[in-house]
Structure 1
Amino acid sequence: MIEDKATLWTVIIGLGLGTFLLRYSFLGLIGGRALPAWALRLLRYTPMAVIPGLVAPAVMWPAATGGETDPARLGAAIATILAGVLLRNVLAAILAGGLVLYGLGWWIG
Structure 2
Amino acid sequence: MTGGASDLTVWIIIVVLGIGTFLIRWSFLGALGNRDMPAWVLRMLRYTPVAVLPALVAPLVMWPAATGGEPEPARLAAAAATAAVGMLTRNVMLAILAGAITLFGMLYVLG
Match of 1:17 in 2: 19
Cα drift, residue 94 of structure 1:
1.3
Paired positions, count = 109
Match of 1:75 in 2: 77
Of 61-70 and 6-15, the range deviating more from structure 2:
61-70
Partner Cα distance (2:34, 2:94) in 1: 38
Post-superposition CA distance 1:5-32 (Å, at most 9, x none)? 1220121012101101101111111111
Describe how 1:8-47 pairs up with structure 2 within 5 A. Answer: 8-47=10-49
Partner Cα distance (2:29, 2:49) in 1: 18
Partner Cα distance (2:87, 2:63) in 1: 24
Q: Which amino acid is 1:56 matched to?
A: A
Match of 2:101 in 1: 99
Match of 1:59 in 2: 61
The CA RMSD over aligned residues, in Å, is: 1.4
Stretches of structure 2 lacking an aligned partner (at least 5 in a row): none
Q: Which amino acid is 2:7 matched to?
A: K
TM-score (norm 1): 0.91
2:6 to 4, 7, 15: 4
Cα drift, residue 66 of structure 1:
2.0
TM-score (norm 2): 0.90
The structure with the largest helix share of the pair is 1
